[in-house]
Amino acid sequence: MDKPKYLKEKYNIYVFDSYEDVPGWINDAEFIYPQMVEQAQDGDHFVEIGTFLGQSTTYMAELIKESEKKISFDTIDLYWLIPHTLKNYKDGGHPKSFYDYYNGIMKEWGMHILNVIKNKMRIIGVDKYVNFISCDEKY
């Protein structure tokens, strides 16, 4: 598995300037987000299946905000499986820095995983552009 495009050895759990400061696997799909927002019209509805730690979710929210278009954006994940995935990062092929990021936030604030994701988006100022849905993605 290729390493994540914006992989950092250590993620700062206090400072977030953009989606690039969020652990994730946007990699080769990054180009599609600006294209979709550019082509979108007011009233369009986007859905992301699988949120993980929120890198691509944050990116889409940033683009929607910048566009000033009225785009609905849902992101769907089970969320409660993410901590298990991170604790077993080696088996899942995730970098240790993803686990360290999550573990650092949990030690500092003890947040539910959904709040771990939402907190950085709130700091960046894009949380109101996303509707989080907790559901098995296959539904």
Domain holding 109, by residue range, is: 26-34+45-134
Q: Is residue 39 part of a domain?
A: no
Q: How confident is the model at residue 69 (pLDDT cuts 50, 70, 90)?
A: very high
Q: Is residue 15 part of a domain?
A: no
Q: Are 88 and 116 in contact (CB under 8 A)?
A: no
What is the residue type of 23? P
pLDDT by residue (tens digit) across 35-64? 999 999 999 999 999 999 999 999 999 999
Mean pLDDT, the chain, integer: 94
Q: Are 32 and 63 in contact (CB under 8 A)?
A: no
List of E strands, 6-71 = 45-49
* Alpha-helical regions (H) of 81-112: 82-87, 89-92, 96-109
Total number of domains in the chain: 1
**Is the confidence at residue 86, as pLDDT, over 90?**
yes
**Is the confidence at residue 133, as pLDDT, over 80?**
yes
For residues 138 and 126, give the distance between their C-alpha atoms in angstroms, rounded to a whole number: 26
Q: Is 63 helix (H, G, I), strand (E, B) or coil?
A: helix
Q: Is residue 77 part of a domain?
A: yes
pTM over 0.75: yes
